[in-house]
Amino acid sequence: MLKYLLYLFVTLVVLSGCSGDSEGKNIKIKSPAKKTTVPKKKRVKIKKKPVIKPMITKDSVAVKLTEYGKNHKETIVDIYTTKGKVRIRLYKDTPLHRASFLLMANEGYFTHSVFTRVAPCFIAQGGGTYTKEQTAVSRKTGVYTIPAEFKRHRTHKQGAVAAAREYKKNPDKRSDPFAFYFVEGTLYNDPTLDRYENENGYKFTKKQREYYVSKPGAAHLDGQHTVFGEIISGYSVIPKITQVERDSKDWPIHDIFIDSVVVVK
């Protein structure tokens, strides 16, 4: 009986101590932290613009233009401008320039380009403007220059069609495929022709001299730019282009457009 009372007493003491320790306390039992899964970012595939391989490179100009010329034998081209239509004939004996002009015409490069330089009794130059559409064409065809194709009998007579070119860092006088000009011209005298011979290191033939002292042309450009064609109809349009109001750099105050260039035959 004594053992039983002693056991009961000890049990009550223990229970009393446990309740005293927890009295007044709000014990919170933390639940185990939940694992959160961070969604992986989706990789967005950026579509690369297709690399356009140009038709012609600096190293392949002669080969590619020769090939293009063999597949495109046309020589008659109509040029529609704000001032009217001009028909030209491209020379077969300047094959690289002929092929390049046909390429640009067929690809639509000249469409909606403007005349960038017009000077009375001199030239009307167009084609060499760079709109968004023209830039797209040049990316396709390639940006290149054409080897000079000077011919003694292809002179800057009135109505001649010739290629523009860069003068700086261009010792070979290679042509720009994008810009060309029509010659209106003026008369020269022998002393003036002598001066240009000395300045340009170019000797005029007797036939050239006879022409330039009697008929309009741009004699000082012979041996400097490649003449690759001539106007065969519609020459009256040229003075209408050159004799307009223009700024100090001979750019027309009101744009004169090349509406289209159509290869005929």
pLDDT value at residue 25: 44
The total number of residues written for the chain in this structure: 265
Which residues fall within 8 angstroms of residue 263, CB to CB, at 6 or more apart? Answer: 72, 74, 76, 77, 102, 105, 106
Alpha-carbon span 113 to 208, nearest angstrom: 33
pLDDT value at residue 34: 53
pLDDT: which is higher, 28 or 103: 103
CB 227 within 8 A of CB 154: yes
Mean pLDDT of the chain: 86
3 state SS of 76 = strand
pLDDT higher than 80, residue 30: no
CB 105 within 8 A of CB 75: no
Considering only CA atoms, which of 119, 173, 111, 120 is closest in space to residue 146? 173
3 state SS of 221 = helix
Alpha-carbon span 197 to 203, nearest angstrom: 6
The average pLDDT across 140-169 equals 96
180-205: per-residue pLDDT in tens?
999 999 999 999 999 999 999 999 99
* pTM: predicted TM-score of the whole model, two decimal places: 0.79
107-123: per-residue pLDDT in tens?
999 999 999 999 999 99
Percent of residues, the chain, with pLDDT higher than 90: 74
The average pLDDT across 217-234 equals 98
Mean pLDDT is lowest, of 23-32, 51-60, 86-95, for: 23-32
List the domains of the chain with CATH numbers: 61-186+226-263 (2.40.100.10)
237-252: per-residue pLDDT in tens?
999 999 999 999 999 9
pLDDT value at residue 53: 84
Considering only CA atoms, which of 176, 180, 170, 161 is closest in space to residue 116? 180
Tokens for 235?
A: 């020459």
Considering only CA atoms, which of 95, 93, 107, 179 is closest in space to residue 139? 107
In the chain, the DSSP E strands lie at 76-81, 84-90, 113-119, 123-126, 160-163, 180-183, 227-233, 257-263
CB 101 within 8 A of CB 180: yes
Query: Quick one: pLDDT band at residue 18, thresholds 50, 70, 90?
Result: very low
Alpha-carbon span 232 to 212, nearest angstrom: 20
